[in-house]
Amino acid sequence: MRYQQRQAVAVGLLVTAALAHLAASGPADSRAGGEPPVPAVARQNQMHRVVHQLQQRLHALPQDQASWARLGSSYVELARVTADPSYYAKAEGALKNAGDTGPAAIGMGTLANARHDFPAARDWALRAVTALPSSAEAHGVLADALTQLGDDAGAQDAVQRMLDLKPNTASFARASFHLELHGDVEGARATMHRALKAASTPEEIAFCRYRLGELAFDHNRLDEAAQHYEQGLAARGDDMTLTQGMAKVAAARGDVPAALEDYRGLVARAPLPQYLQEYAELLEAAGKTDEAARQYGVLTEQQRLMESQGASDDLAAALVAADRGDGVQALRRAEAEWGRRQSVFVADAMAWALHVNGRDAEALGYSDRAVALGWQNATFSYHRGMILAALGRVAEAQEALVRALTLNPNFSPLQALKAGRKLAELRGGR
């Protein structure tokens, strides 16, 4: 899975755990834990029931601000599980009816994070923290926004505050990702196991297993990754992220037909951009160019649909365009995102877009910023290696490409092949 997509999923699933708790705590659907695995379709149906119950309650009690906040949060969750961004507008409307309260600010911050409007998410989170200084959830929304904005010190403080207030699955998971970003893979893994130990619902268990699986997959530990994905599926039926994990493992093991079948099912259930891109890349790598082109077309339409609902993602669009050789679009999108936030994720996108446009001296400066935290990321290393190769710095380019393929030789069905070819070329093996 590409790094920017995985981060989006990680944030989304952390948000989901909080939203699921909010929805389940409503007046008509309060249940204890210990539930059996919930298939994705059943999860959607469950969320629709929660929404219907809240709507009925608000029809009778329109001034119930807490229920408006829960309804808004439930709409954000529905947008995630259905890949239907039209729920964002409904969420915003409901949350505005929740008044100037701490829960409403948390909900608005969560919604802004889901839309990738991270400056707004930060501002809402700060309002929530002011209203509810002892709320771990408020600090979690703030940590997510600051991580994406590139405020590393602020994000660390928010995560630490969250841990101090409530050392639970959500806080340990954020701490794990912060450690991973700084190159401490073993610390990230150990902290994620603490998150798993603290997990109390099928959703939390599935999320922890997914993150542990991603840590393993991203460091070429396929058997360990598969084990985590499988154990997650045992906790939560046909969870989409875990199914996607198993598809990646199948592709990495050479079972491309099984991987394609999994992706075909995923994009039919939820045409999320990350699934569409990975499916299209795998089709292209398998020589199914016509099918790949169709999926790239669906990806473009889905991106437009999300943007029409206020959910911009110039970062992902820039990287897709750069990978496909569309330098103009890649740079336009990357520069737009850089204008909003200067994180390591966007620095790498700027580097890659500039490289595709032949501006490698500038690209290297952004690549330096991308690797500044120490993240052991195969995609970052691949991009850096290609930039260095274009600059004629052969030894450094080889080192970066070897690092990419050692960290994770399956980081992308297409780009990993290109990395291998470039490395052979640099070694004189044409």
Q: What is the DSSP string of 265-326?
A: HHHHH---HHHHHHHHHHHHHTT-HHHHHHHHHHHHHHHHHHHHTT---HHHHHHHHHHTT-
Single-letter residue type at 330: A
Average pLDDT estimate for 222-239: 95
- What mean pLDDT, rounded, does the chain reach? 90
Least confident range of 219-223, 236-240, 281-285, 327-331:
236-240
- At 429, the pLDDT band (50, 70, 90 cuts) reads low
Mean pLDDT of 379-397: 98
Question: What percentage of the chain exceeds 70 in pLDDT?
Answer: 90
If you average pLDDT over residues 342-358, what whole number do you get?
A: 98
Q: What is the mean pLDDT of residues 333-362?
A: 97
Looking at residue 33, what is its pLDDT?
A: 35
CA atoms 241, 243, 249, 255: torsion sign: negative
Confidence of residue 44 (pLDDT cuts 50, 70, 90): confident
Average of pLDDT values for 211-240? 96
Confidence bin at 45 (pLDDT 50/70/90): confident
Domain with CATH 1.25.40.10 in the chain: 3-264, 327-426
Average pLDDT over residues 325-338: 97
The pLDDT confidence band at residue 21, using thresholds 50, 70 and 90, is very low
- As a whole number, mean pLDDT of residues 190-201 equals 97
Per-residue pLDDT, averaged over 64-71, amounts to 95
For residue 31, give every residue at least 6 positions away whose Cβ sits within 8 Å of its Cβ, in sequence order, or none.
24
424 falls in which pLDDT band (50, 70, 90)? Answer: very high
pLDDT at 20 over 80: no
Fold of 327-426: 1.25.40
Sequence-separated contacts (24+) of 351-355 with Cβ below 8 Å: 351/383, 351/384, 351/387, 352/318, 352/319, 352/322, 352/383, 353/318, 353/321, 353/322, 353/327, 355/322, 355/383, 355/386, 355/387, 355/390
**Amino acid of residue 388:** L
CA angle 342, 84, 258 (to 5 degrees): 90
Residue 41 has what pLDDT? 60
The three-point CA angle 17-216-410 to 5° equals: 115
The pLDDT of 113-118, averaged and rounded, is 94
pLDDT band at 292 (very low <50, low <70, confident <90, very high): very high
Q: What is the pLDDT of residue 311?
A: 80
The length of the chain, given as a count of residues? 430
By the 10 Å C-beta count (0-12 exposed, 13-18 middle, 19+ buried), 224 is classed as middle
Task: Name the pLDDT band for 310 (thresholds 50, 70, 90).
Answer: confident
| Exposure string over 92-112, b if 16+ CB within 10 A, otherwise e | bebbebbeebbbbbbbbbbbb
pLDDT digits (tens, 9 = 90+) for 231-262: 999 999 879 999 999 999 999 999 999 999 99
By percentage, how much of the chain surpasses pLDDT 90? 81
pLDDT digits (tens, 9 = 90+) for 129-177: 999 999 999 999 999 999 999 999 999 999 999 999 999 999 999 999 9
Q: What is the pLDDT of residue 122?
A: 98
CATH of domain 3-264: 1.25.40.10
Average pLDDT over every residue of 367-384: 98
pLDDT of residue 26 exceeding 50, the answer is no
Choose among 124, 135, 196: nearest CA to 165.
135
Tokens of 140: 């979690």
Residue 128 CB neighbour total at 10 angstroms: 27
| pLDDT at residue 35 greater than cutoff 70 | no
